[in-house]
Amino acid sequence: MGEVRKVRTVCRSCHGGCGVIAYVEDGRVVKVEGDPESPISHGSMCSKGLAILQLAYHPQRVLHPMKKVDGRWERISWDEALDTIADRFRKVIDKYGPEAIVIGQGTGRDYESHLYRFANLLGTPNVLTAGHMCYVSRVGASLITCGNLPVCDYEGGPKAIVLWGCNPLWTNPDEYKGENFWRAYKRGAKLVVIDPRRGFLAERADLWLQLRPGTDAALAFGFLHVIIEEGLYDKEFVERYVHGWEAFCERVREYPLKRVSEITWVREDLIRRAAELYATTKPACIHWGVPTEQAINCTDCTRLLIALMAITGNLDAPGGNVFFVPPPTRTVSEFARHRDLPPEQRAKRLGGERYRLAARVALITPKVAWEAILTGKPYPLKAGLLCGTNPVVTRANAREAYEALKALEFLVVIDFFLTPTAELADVFLPAATWLEQDHVADNWKRHGYVLARQKVVQIGECWQDHKIFMELGKRMGQQWWDTVEEALDYLLEPSGLTWEEFKKVGYLKGEMSYYKYRTKGFSTPTGKVELYCTTLEKWGRDPLPKYVEVPESPLSRPDLIGRYPYILNAGLRNPVYFHSEGRQLSWLREIRPDPIVEIHPETARRHGIQEGDWVWIESPRGRVKQRVRLNDGIDPRVVVAEHGWWYPEIEDPGHGWDISNINILIDNAHETMDPVMGATNLRVGLCNISRCED
């Protein structure tokens, strides 16, 4: 055996941030394990991170640039790849303008700063992300309500935790690690779980509220009604720091518990008990998940949950939902140079007038991109660059996404594998995994940390995303640094550290303080928590939150119930896959070999379905098949299905993207989306099921 070298780095197999010790022998990583000195994860790792070696050294991983010639992939050099892309982009810009190029990403890999800098310097306002319905939508709604994103302070000792549509033990989402939640829970915190499905955490909760999928905003109104009616709110905070209290109370009175119970299917007494527990147990925090955002009520639900935090005195209070102080580094926004995008180009952002909140956080919703490609209106999109995203599988109305991307004149994809989306590209660029990159990790998150992700190994010709944007940008005449390390020095400059010095330090933490509003107010136009939103009022929208019925439900579409009698709750999470990733990794696939749809035993008997059967799930937009698991912890009127499925083992270019892809069944019409954010109603629709005869 050769000498084994240990390198401390930071995972990014899912949302990232977990500390890792990588063991390297003869230039190859042979083992990874959790770093017990990590302030984020304390030595824990999830299955996705532990499987990184299977990804990094997978035989199907693409390790060199490629271009498509006569429908077949051919290996090319980096110089040829970048020159080809730059030449095609210049031709599009000369003929149609830079706005005709769309830049896209999925759930990011900490390259947001570089991707946005490239797009801004290119001159395109059309950046397509998952953020229209995931995290950034939450940030946008928070900005116009209280000026910053409130995050659970698990280290601050919450006495009560409300998990609202979230399973942190499986998803480790954004600022959070499930391990930190579990520590707080094991210390004795009361637990309220809000979820249509009874799972591990619901079984351990003090209260489980089994709501009808998609009705979260109505349930939040129920909580608020109880708290206001019983006088359980913090009267001093409301008097001094809330804008629009009386008008807000009037709106809340429109949602008495009887009405809320009818909408949500949750008993009145359970709503009352949960609201009282949250309001009277101090401190308390609300940890919400993306089901509240992937809905027509995305913005208003976020505003209502912030209202709950604020009026109970749990906003920026120890153990509540707090505004963590970032460490002294340059922000993503500063690095991205958003101000360098000319005003006349910002005005061309697709959907910018309709989806004002999305425009404010510098992104577009996918629907407007697909329309611009397929119809040329309001102007055509001709070229695209997609980094770490697989919209053919992960976006609503997947067939429309497929046809749109297929219709682009020129498409570049940056990824590890030839996914169904990558197979539509003209040029493929091989991305580096987190084992193969240097970066100031987590610099976009709002948990108060940045972390040193150190390059452990070089595999093939793969480049980290940051380098790809830098080198392509230089070919487009943009201003960048000579090396990735110099760019990181710039990011770290306010801290007084260089990249080489930061690697030795390992992480930086912002100096935390609480109740910052007492001296600084809130970063809103009124300086208060705006339950009556002056920004929305300025945009001509309802300044008060409201509940809008799910666009495709038994209440809104009774005409469909005869053919589609069940509520489809899409997006069931599992602990081994990160959205559409990981299906080719044997460790993970062994745990979850097939796509799972959960139905109630009563529903199964009605259709002659047994555990393990393959079934068709059908909606007005088509049908897909998944394998049945029986679960008496869901309502018999509800069908719960997994997302993200394709089959890398199928060798045709589509890799079976349309066999089990639940997003084929989901609508993305404008009238079904959040009216200011453009969040897709990705989670809820109507469906039917039947046993597959084959």
Tokens found for residue 60: 């199907």
For residues 588-596, give the mean pLDDT: 97
Tokens found for residue 335: 């690095």
Going from N- to C-terminal start, the domains of the chain cover 66-136+330-442+449-509, 146-325+516-538, 558-691
Q: What is the pLDDT of residues 359-395, one digit of tens each?
A: 999 999 999 999 999 999 999 999 999 999 999 999 9
Parallel/antiparallel/unpaired status of strands 242-243 and 284-288: unpaired
CATH of domain 558-691: 2.40.40.20
Tell me, what's the pLDDT at 457? 98
67 vs 81: CA distance, rounded Å: 7
Partner residues linked to 626 by β-bridges = 615
* CATH label, 146-325+516-538, candidates 3.30.565.10, 3.40.228.10, 2.40.50.100, 1.10.10.10: 3.40.228.10
Q: Place 288 in a pLDDT band, splitting at 50, 70 and 90.
A: very high
Q: Note the helical H segments in 517-557.
A: 517-520, 534-538
For residues 200-228, give the mean pLDDT: 98
DSSP 139: H
- Fold designation for 66-136+330-442+449-509: Rossmann fold (3.40.50)
Q: Look at residue 39 and give its three-state secondary structure.
A: coil
Partner residues linked to 640 by β-bridges = 569, 598
Number of Cβ atoms within 10 Å of the Cβ of 611? 11
Partner residues linked to 451 by β-bridges = 441, 507
For residues 302-314, give the mean pLDDT: 98
Percent of residues, the chain, with pLDDT higher than 70? 100
For residues 96-102, give the mean pLDDT: 98
Average pLDDT for the chain: 97
Q: What is the pLDDT of residues 627-640, one digit of tens each?
A: 999 999 999 999 99
Partner residues linked to 691 by β-bridges = 615
Q: DSSP states of 266-281 as a string? A: --HHHHHHHHHHHHHS
Three state DSSP letters for 423-460: HHCCEEEEECCHHHCCEEECCCCCCCEEEEECCCCCCC
Q: Place 354 in a pLDDT band, splitting at 50, 70 and 90.
A: very high
Q: What is the pLDDT of residues 645-679, one digit of tens each?
A: 999 999 999 999 999 999 999 999 999 999 999 99
| Helix and strand element counts for the chain (H, E) | 27, 27
419 vs 422: CA distance, rounded Å: 5
Q: How far is CA 391 from CA 352, 357, 528, in A?
A: 21, 22, 38
DSSP 524: S
Tell me, what's the pLDDT at 693? 81
Whether residue 690 contacts residue 370, with contact meaning beta carbons closer than 8 Å, is answered with no
Q: Look at residue 127 and give its three-state secondary structure.
A: strand
Query: Integer distance in angstroms from the first to the last C-alpha of the chain?
Result: 52
429 vs 461: CA distance, rounded Å: 10
Percent of residues, the chain, with pLDDT higher than 90? 98
Q: Look at residue 335 and give its three-state secondary structure.
A: helix
User: How would you class 616 by CB atoms within 10 Å of its CB: exposed for 0-12, middle for 13-18, buried for 19 or more?
Assistant: middle
For residues 243-253, give the mean pLDDT: 98
96 vs 510: CA distance, rounded Å: 45
Return the higher-pLDDT residue of 16 and 554.
Answer: 554
Equal fold, 66-136+330-442+449-509 vs 558-691:
no
Helix (H) or strand (E) holding 472: helix 465-475
Tell me, what's the pLDDT at 694? 65
Give the type of residue at 485. Answer: E
Q: Hey, CA dihedral for 112, 118, 120, 121, is it positive or negative?
A: positive
Tell me, what's the pLDDT at 108? 73
18 vs 46: CA distance, rounded Å: 9
Q: Is the pLDDT of residue 96 over 80?
A: yes
User: How would you class 512 by CB atoms within 10 Å of its CB: exposed for 0-12, middle for 13-18, buried for 19 or more?
Assistant: middle
Strands (E), 493-589: 507-509, 529-530, 566-572
Q: What is the pLDDT of residues 407-449, one digit of tens each?
A: 999 999 999 999 999 999 999 999 999 999 999 999 999 999 9
